[in-house]
Amino acid sequence: MISLTLVSIVLLFLVIFFITKESLYIFREVNFFAFVSGLTWDPLAREPQVGILPMILATFYVSLVAVLIALPIGVGCAMELAVLEKKWLKGFLTAILGVLAGIPSVIYGFIGLLVVVKFLEKKLMQPS
């Protein structure tokens, strides 16, 4: 069992090393500060412009909206389960929440992509 753990740790460090080694090439062409604060992403231009600030801000905004949506729902569910008097209903709802928590977030994102995006496309009359 220890050998499998060591193999996993070594593989993890090899992946980190490989990604770091391969990503350092871009910093020969582009300053790190320009990379982080740049607004344009055009790596195939004669003079590559690879700014990731819009991506960082988009990630922050999406995370903020997700927290604003999920926080009241999560706190509300926790408060309801804490004060629920019927033991059988409390056990049932706790089991349901356990199953939902066990589903990877990628699956929820995929469902959102298939359902929510299609819904918004139809409502906003955008071509798919």
The tens digit of pLDDT for each residue in 48-90 reads 788 899 999 999 999 999 999 999 998 998 888 888 888 888 8
Task: Centre a 10 Å sphere on the Cβ of residue 3 and count the other Cβ atoms it contains.
Answer: 7
Q: Is residue 95 part of a domain?
A: yes
Helix (H) or strand (E) holding 48, with range, is none
Domain count, the chain: 1
Cα–Cα distance, 80 to 69 (Å, whole number): 17
Q: What is the pLDDT of residues 23-33, one digit of tens each?
A: 888 888 788 89
Check: pTM over 0.85? Answer yes or no: no
What does the mean pLDDT of the chain come to? 89
Which structural domain, as residue segments, surrounds residue 117? 86-128
Residue 126 has pLDDT above 80, yes or no: no
